[in-house]
Structure 1
Amino acid sequence: MNDSSWGAPQGAGYWGTPEMRAAPAGPAHDVHDAQQTRPMPIVPDVPDAGRDAQSRDDRDREAAHVSGPLFRDEKPQEPMSTPLPPPPQKKRAGRDLRAAIGVGVGLGAVIGVSLFIVKAAFIGVIVAAVVVGLWELTSRLQERKGIKAPLVPLAVGGAAMVVAGYARGPEGAWIAMALTALAVLVWRMTEPPDGYLKDVTAGVFAAFYVPFLATFVALMLTADDGSWRVLTFLILTVVSDTGAYAVGWRFGTHKLAPRISPGKTREGLLGAVAFAMVAGALCMEFLIDGGAWWQGLLLGLAVAASATLGDLGESMIKRDLGIKDMGTLLPGHGGIMDRLDSLLPTAPVVWLLLVLFVGSG
């Protein structure tokens, strides 16, 4: 085998030497030339499958590295866990307790001084509370319902009602009540007739609800031990409200009248009854001349019932008006009417039971 069998002779181009091109074609020579002049096939570069898979893995690792932490001390973010529910909050009072206590102590001091020094001064305190209460009630009626109950005859007649009850007894209170209702009817006639019926109806209601019921406090004061009777009335009402609030806030779970006052509970009512009965027994035994402890138990039970009904009654009025408080005069309490709500219906109850137990004295 010679060297020509591996390819073209030295110096030959792509088509061979000039002698080769000039040589006659022949069968044997054609085969030999075909073997020596056949060009080398061009084979395209075919990527290796394993190497390509490896390069893809490398690219994935590089992408993962790029998308990972930029610095060595960074930690990859962990998936967010389910947030924990907020811790249960403690029950809180709905009002400013410090302000309420401060105002209550101030009112108690005014009442105590006027009640035991000069009885007439306490009558002035009742009149002032009645006039402010009437102003709050008539203002809210006009603002929320467009009802114009005439304030002037109500205020004058209400003050006269309290004074007449103290000076002339129940007969004087009834006469003043009738005259006040008549004054409301006449006063409203000075305005157009539209809304007359609803205005005078609201006026007569306000006259009965605020000053007439307050007159029974003045009637209690006319007795020889009148100051102690009024003090017993105030203590029992306040203790009933306090017992209802304390027990209901701590243990209340069953609603008493959810459509009227959602905050009141049956447990609170039981607390009011228990606190008022204990206070009633103590007051009748040590403050009222001729009183007995068992009478105090009945008195406390009646006060708890009347105070609760009075509170629910004003809550009904405020719900109809769409308001929370009747006023803002007393910080932590609302308005004067928000403090008179349980006192007003309780006054005739205490007056009547004390007359039955120990006389009008």
Structure 2
Amino acid sequence: MSDAPQPAPAPQKKSAGRDLGAAIGVGVGLGAVIVAALFIVKAVFVGVIAVAVVVGLWELTRRLRERKEIRVPLVPLAVGGAAMVVAGYARGPEGAWTAMALTALAVLVWRMTEPPEGYLKDVTAGVFAAFYVPFLATFVAMMLTADDGPRRVLTFLLLTVVSDTGAYAVGWRFGSHKLAPRISPGKTREGLIGAVAFAMATGALCMQFLIDGGTWWQGLLLGLAVAASATLGDLGESMIKRDLGIKDMGTLLPGHGGIMDRLDSLLPTAPVVWLLLVLFVGSG
């Protein structure tokens, strides 16, 4: 038997864990559709939000039924969710809260048509779903009502995407200290630093050049807030998926998972951006 030293195994390359080509193609295509709808007719973009909400609710309720046997009534959620987005656009926060309350009531009543076993957990999950998906999405529609509404929404989208991209790029290259290993093992503290840096730089540019009356220092604060809310949103979605024992909420978007897997950081970030823009430059 030869005693010659064996060659060291080649180091393994880090993997993104998804079909990167498909992810980029789908991402670019979605981005083009969203930007086109945003700057052509505001009402069309409101429709895009409503469709995303309905599909997201379908994915979430389907997973709850499959994995936890929680029977959330989809019909009142979908109708109420779409109405919530329209009400937020047409009547502002008052309309959004009214539609949210009516949707919750509809969920409670609709579920009464089935046997009482599991009623409490079903309606609790239904009210949670109504708040988590359509109600948070209404803040995007409310951003759109300002005179510079399309640019506000574009700022919101850019900051959230850049925060996620910065976290991924820096974490993939330099990440070694886990941020929340029990929730999302792939997230690192270095990635969070990347998210903050990328989002703050983008926020300064957006507030200075896109938002009427905005200044660069406001953009730094806005970027910091977005990095925090986007990260917490991603971790929250990871908690839900870990509890359900799944990797993705759906398979609708190749390389991305489902609609809910793309909304995870956007939904909790929407009210943060809406509020800070109102405080910084008014409701428009």
- Deviation string, structure 1 residues 237-256 (Cα, Å, up to 9, x no partner): 00000000000000000000
Find 2:109's aligned residue among 186, 197, 203.
186
Q: Which residue number corresponds to residue 131 of structure 2? A: 208
C-alpha distance in structure 2 between counterparts of 1:92 and 1:176, whole Å: 44
Shift of 1:88: 1.1
- Deviation string, structure 1 residues 29-56 (Cα, Å, up to 9, x no partner): xxxxxxxxxxxxxxxxxxxxxxxxxxxx
Q: Which residue number corresponds to residue 120 of structure 2? A: 197
C-alpha distance in structure 2 between counterparts of 1:289 and 1:119, whole Å: 18
Q: Secondary structure at the match of 1:169?
A: helix
Structure 1 runs not aligned, ≥5 long = 1-77
Hey, which of these two has a bigger chunk of helix by percent?
A: 2
Task: Output the amino acid matched with 2:13.
Answer: K
Find 1:157's aligned residue among 80, 84, 102.
80
Task: Output the amino acid matched with 1:88.
Answer: P
Note if 1:91 corresponds to 2:14. yes
Q: Which residue number corresponds to residue 340 of structure 1? A: 263
Q: Which residue number corresponds to residue 33 of structure 2? A: 110
- Deviation string, structure 1 residues 56-97 (Cα, Å, up to 9, x no partner): xxxxxxxxxxxxxxxxxxxxxx54756544211111211111
- Which stretches of structure 1, 4 residues or longer, exceed 2 Å deviation after superposition? 78-85
- Deviation string, structure 1 residues 155-190 (Cα, Å, up to 9, x no partner): 000000000000111100000000000000000000
**Which aligned pairs between 1:71-90 and structure 2 lie closer than 5 A?**
78-79=1-2, 83-90=6-13
C-alpha distance in structure 2 between counterparts of 1:106 and 1:317, whole Å: 28
- Deviation string, structure 1 residues 195-226 (Cα, Å, up to 9, x no partner): 00000000000000000000000000000000
Task: Output the amino acid matched with 1:147.
Answer: I
Q: Which residue number corresponds to residue 50 of structure 2? A: 127
- Give RMSD over aligned pairs: 0.9
Higher relative contact order (CA 8 A, sep 6+): 2
- How many corresponding residue pairs? 284
Find 1:319's aligned residue among 242, 245, 258.
242
C-alpha distance in structure 1 between counterparts of 2:187 and 2:150, whole Å: 32
Q: Which residue number corresponds to residue 300 of structure 1? A: 223
Task: Output the amino acid matched with 1:200.
Answer: V
Q: Secondary structure at the match of 2:187?
A: strand
Task: Output the amino acid matched with 1:299.
Answer: L
C-alpha distance in structure 2 between counterparts of 1:325 and 1:295, whole Å: 35
State percent identity of aligned pairs: 88
Q: Secondary structure at the match of 1:256?
A: strand
Find 1:140's aligned residue among 63, 66, 77.
63
Q: Which residue number corresponds to residue 258 of structure 1? A: 181
C-alpha distance in structure 2 between counterparts of 1:196 and 1:259, whole Å: 31
Q: Secondary structure at the match of 2:186?
A: strand
C-alpha distance in structure 1 between counterparts of 2:105 and 2:12, whole Å: 54
C-alpha distance in structure 2 between counterparts of 1:85 and 1:200, whole Å: 58
Structure 2 runs not aligned, ≥5 long = none
Find 2:144's aligned residue among 207, 211, 221.
221
Task: Output the amino acid matched with 2:225.
Answer: A
C-alpha distance in structure 1 between counterparts of 2:2 and 2:210, whole Å: 72
